[in-house]
Copies of this chain bind each other. A is one copy, B any other.
């Protein structure tokens, strides 16, 4: 019986995904042809469709691969000793890829795809809901710790997510500084959470 080398398979898969990410970021889902992905990855179309059943699945994989990482970040944040530390951890995680030049394009493509691809929308919405829940829990703990939040925890959690989206929207502009942006977001969040000590 012929046994598969899973490492080799994973490596090729990753290579294809990398090529696909570049294409999708620049041209979007409908705008990239499978042929262009193949060209960039240096493979034939047969190979591409051996690894991914459809172009859509290729795009989905680009994001579903990140889900475990997000789950881990949520767990770490919820396990933090103080709710404020957990919030910082989670906010930092939300901005992890801020410096990646592909991300603005990919985010735009993803936002758009979520409006018209049910399966993709559910995947993204589920992950976002989990993160929102984690944020809400942390904010409730913070409130119990003496913070004076500007809004109810759940609303505030929504605003934090929106603020992080806003950061990625700004990431395409020239002269964008991810570090400064992250620092400003933390200050804004701190203000909204109403931490007693600056």
Closest to A165 in B: B166
Closest to A180 in B: B155
- Chain B nearest Cβ from A66, distance in angstroms: 19
A163 contact from B108, B109, B166, B191, Cβ within 8 A: B166
Interface hit among A22-30, A50-58, A80-88: A22-30
CB of A159 within 8 A of CB of B172, answer: no
CB of A28 within 8 A of CB of B30, answer: yes
Closest to A27 in B: B116
CB of B155 within 8 A of CB of A159, answer: no
Note all chain B residues with C-beta closer than 8 A to A115: 25-26, 104-105, 108, 172
Chain A contact residues: over half helix, strand or loop, or mixed?
helix
A104, A111, A151, A158: residue with the most chain B Cβ atoms closer than 10 Å: A111
A147-167 vs B, CB cutoff 8 Å, 1 = contact: the mask equals 000110001001100110111
Closest to A104 in B: B115
**A-side interface size class:** 20 to 34
> Does A187 touch B at the CB level, under 8 Å?
yes
CB of B151 within 8 A of CB of A116, answer: no
CA gap between A11 and B156 in the complex, in Å: 44
> Does A10 touch B at the CB level, under 8 Å?
no
A188 contact from B104, B114, B192, Cβ within 8 A: B192
User: Which chain A residues in 153-197 approach chain B with CB under 8 Å?
Assistant: 155, 158-159, 162-163, 165-167, 169-170, 172, 184, 187-188, 191-192
> Does A49 touch B at the CB level, under 8 Å?
no
CB of A162 within 8 A of CB of B163, answer: yes
- Chain B nearest Cβ from A24, distance in angstroms: 11
Note all chain B residues with C-beta closer than 8 A to A155: 184
CB of B165 within 8 A of CB of A169, answer: yes
CA gap between A25 and B115 in the complex, in Å: 8
Note all chain B residues with C-beta closer than 8 A to A184: 151, 155, 159
